[in-house]
Every structure is written in C-alpha cells, then in structure tokens.
Chain A
C-alpha cells in the first residue's frame, strides 16, 4: 500500500511538471485548399473551331495555364488535368479531380456562340452524400455546393463587367466529379446589340475573365475555411 501511493505521487508530480513545461499548442493548420482546372478536349478531340481558326482544345489549355498562374501567385494549390495537347478520357479527368480531394473543380470550354461567359452546373438532382456514390452521378451529392460556387463565380464576373449566363446541363465527366464543380464556357464579349466588343483572342478579355475567376476562387477559399 505504501509503495503504490508513493508511485502514484511521483507520477502525479511528474505529470504536473511536464504540463507546466509543455510549449503552447501550435495553431490548427489551415485545411488544404485545392483547385482542379480541367482544360476540356485535347489530343484527337479538337472541340469546336473558333473564329480565329484555333481549335477549342488549344484555347482551353491557354486559359488553364493563365488561370493556374493567377491562382499560383496567390498561394492556391492547383492541379490541372492536362498540361499539353494530350487526349484525356472524361473518366480519367474525373478520377484526377476526385483523387485531388479538391474544393473547387473548373472545367474550361470555349465557343463562338452566345456572349460573355456561360456557367454550367450539372443538371443532376441533388442527393445526400453517401459513402459509396455511383460513378456516373457522383456529382449529385455536390450539386448544392456547385450551385453556390457558380454563384460566387457569377458575382465576380459581373463585377469585372463580363456578361454571364447561368444554366444547368448534363455534363459527362463533370457528373462524375465528387467536388463543387462548374463548367465555364468562354464566348466573345458582345454588347446589347450583339456587336462583338472583345474576341476570344483578345488578351485583355482573357486576362479580365481569368482575373475574375481567380478572385472568385479566393473568395470561395475564404468561405470554405470559414465553414
């Protein structure tokens, strides 16, 4: 009995000393914020043909590089589905996004039809997240977050003076992504009389759109950390 109480007293004293000497706990690390940029098409898949004669696959890669640079200098970790003119299967694009455990997935497209920037969110019916999601409809659990992300992108683009349309559509590839995902389609900027004010090739227009998208993603990062 005497021995056991002596050992307990020693241990208690040692514990108190240790706790008194322990350094203050480091602040909790900021959760990782990852953005996946998916330059649509590539390789044999040329996508649409733009007015300049450039294929859509080249344009989306240019925009992906431009946006990656803008996000990179602001300290955002960016993962791209392709860095060169290579054909990538839609399923593989979704695999890259899902492995990245990203907080935002942006699929980049371009078209000569319409005006400004077209934002598309999957038309899948929103579902509760589950442990095992069907591959073709994995996005269903993220549709609500995707709509919120589209709202943030919409605000930033409007603030930058870009015409924006919001829509929902069946998006093969994006429908398999388990992250807040939006397809961004760039079209020439036109005024109310549909006169083109900035072509897709206009470097200033590209920079304005990329800047607005980067600003929106930074705001999205702040919102994600706040939650």
Chain B
C-alpha cells in the first residue's frame, strides 16, 4: 500500500517533468529558428576564377645555402594583400613537398595574412612609395619549422626576396606569429627586426615552370 503523501509527490514531480519537457522543446525550436534566420541562404556570387599569372619565387636550397629565382604560373587575386599571401603560399607549398630542397612543413596555409603598409622611417627620395610587408605566420608552421641558423635564415630571406621580386615597392619586411611578435623562428633567426628586402639576393635564375 503506497502512502498518500508519496502519491502526491510522485504526481507533482511527473507534472513538473512534463512541463519542463514542453518548455525545453519550445526553447529548442526557437534556437533553431534563430539559427536559420542568421544564415544567409541566398545563393552566393559565382566564384571568380582568377587568371593564371607569372610569379617569381626565390626558392631556398639547404645544400648550397642559395636562393634560386624560379618563375611559376598560378592564379592570383587582384587584392595586393591576398595576392602576396597566395604567392607566399605557393613558395611554402614547394617547401612542404617530400623532395624539397629546403624542407619545411606547413605548406600554403602557413601564412595567415600579409599586410602592405607604408615603409617605416624617413621617406627615401629614391623610393617615395616604399612599402613595409607584415607577414603573419601561423604558430603551427613556426613550431614545426626545422631548427638551425641556415635553414631559418633561408626561410626568412626567401620570403623577403619573393615579396620584393613580385612587389618591387616592398623594401621592408616584418614577421608576426599568430598576430604577435616572436623572438625567433625556431630558436635562431631573429624575428624581432625589420628585414630589408634587398638582403635576399637570388644566386641564380632557375628554370621556368
């Protein structure tokens, strides 16, 4: 025989559970509606296929400590920052291949952004429109980069030289990692200083690809 007060408690708890289930169902529906309303389900603009253009890459070679200028054809966007990122992405893609002359994992996604700004310091009368490129590398690329004076220096100089080869107005380059300044690339190459693009001099002209 179940006491009466226990029956009352059971009925109250059952009723409360049902009410809560209904409220939860309604809240879920409202959240779902909000999510659908936030999404722009209209068809997006048709993707523009950028025409393939020639880009000069200064490809590093660890074996003889050189930078080889190579010409590659790749689709490039019109925006200068996005264009610079695409070119550097191609360069770092070459480094991530198994038979690379300068192995460095990460590939095209290693560069988050490239910002092109007016150059630092007093205006050079010979280059009044000189620009500073700020290259924002990903932390994943930096943490997986091989350590060593030569390999790190070559990575930095090949980025500087490639930017200058394709954007002659870029005379200075600075580096960030995940948006903040970092002392070194992988323990050796100094990332706190402003590099002059002219520090990277190609050793030879490579075959066009």
Q: Which residues of A contact B (CB under 8 A)?
A: 41, 45, 47-49, 56, 109-115, 118, 120, 123, 165-167, 169-172, 183, 185, 187, 190, 194
Taken residue by residue from 21 to 50, chain B's Cβ proximity to chain A (1 for < 8 Å, 0 otherwise) reads as 000000000000000000000000000000
Are A185 and B150 in contact, with the CB atoms below 8 A?
yes
With a CB–CB cut-off of 8 A, which chain B residues contact A48? Answer: 146-148, 186-187
Chain B residue, CB-CB nearest to A172: B190
With a CB–CB cut-off of 8 A, which chain A residues contact B146? Answer: 48, 111-113
Are B190 and A111 in contact, with the CB atoms below 8 A?
no
Given contacts A47-B187, A113-B62, contact A170 B149 (CB under 8 A): no
Given contacts A48-B186, A170-B190, contact A111 B149 (CB under 8 A): yes
Chain B residue, CB-CB nearest to A55: B147
Q: Which residues of B contact A (CB under 8 A)?
A: 62-65, 103, 146-151, 153, 183-184, 186-190, 192-193, 195, 199
Chain B residue, CB-CB nearest to A49: B147
Are A111 and B147 in contact, with the CB atoms below 8 A?
yes
Chain B residue, CB-CB nearest to A168: B199
With a CB–CB cut-off of 8 A, which chain B residues contact A194? Answer: 63
Interface core residue of A49, A111, A171 (most chain B CB under 10 Å) = A111
Given contacts A48-B148, A111-B147, A111-B148, contact A167 B65 (CB under 8 A): yes
Assembly CA distance A41 to B103 (angstroms): 23
Assembly CA distance A117 to B184 (angstroms): 21
**Closest chain B CB from A182 CB (angstroms):** 11
Are A114 and B65 in contact, with the CB atoms below 8 A?
yes
Are B64 and A45 in contact, with the CB atoms below 8 A?
no
28 contacts between A and B (CB under 8 A): A47-B147, A48-B146, A48-B147, A48-B148, A48-B187, A49-B147, A56-B147, A109-B188, A110-B148, A111-B147, A111-B151, A114-B65, A115-B63, A118-B65, A120-B149, A165-B65, A166-B65, A167-B150, A169-B153, A172-B183, A172-B184, A172-B190, A183-B149, A185-B150, A187-B148, A187-B150, A190-B63, A194-B63
* B-side interface mostly: loop
* 14 other A-B residue contacts (CB within 8 Å) besides A167-B65, A190-B63: A48-B148, A49-B147, A109-B149, A111-B148, A111-B150, A113-B148, A120-B153, A165-B150, A166-B65, A172-B183, A172-B190, A185-B149, A185-B150, A194-B63
Assembly CA distance A171 to B190 (angstroms): 7
A114: contacting residue among B63, B186, B188, B193, CB under 8 A: B63
Assembly CA distance A47 to B149 (angstroms): 10
Chain B residue, CB-CB nearest to A56: B147
**Closest chain A CB from B154 CB (angstroms):** 9
With a CB–CB cut-off of 8 A, which chain A residues contact B190? Answer: 170-172
Interface core residue of B147, B186, B199 (most chain A CB under 10 Å) = B147
Are A45 and B187 in contact, with the CB atoms below 8 A?
yes
Assembly CA distance A200 to B146 (angstroms): 16
Assembly CA distance A45 to B189 (angstroms): 15
Interface core residue of B64, B187, B189 (most chain A CB under 10 Å) = B187
With a CB–CB cut-off of 8 A, which chain B residues contact A41? Answer: 187
The 4 closest A-B pairs by CB, nearest first: A111-B148, A48-B147, A165-B65, A113-B151
Are B62 and A114 in contact, with the CB atoms below 8 A?
yes
**Closest chain A CB from B50 CB (angstroms):** 34
Are B148 and A112 in contact, with the CB atoms below 8 A?
yes
Assembly CA distance A47 to B188 (angstroms): 8
Chain B residue, CB-CB nearest to A125: B196
With a CB–CB cut-off of 8 A, which chain B residues contact A166? Answer: 65
With a CB–CB cut-off of 8 A, which chain A residues contact B187? Answer: 41, 45, 47-48, 56
B153: contacting residue among A115, A167, A187, CB under 8 A: A167
Assembly CA distance A47 to B189 (angstroms): 12
With a CB–CB cut-off of 8 A, which chain A residues contact B103? Answer: 113
**Closest chain B CB from A191 CB (angstroms):** 10
Assembly CA distance A41 to B189 (angstroms): 14
With a CB–CB cut-off of 8 A, which chain A residues contact B199? Answer: 123
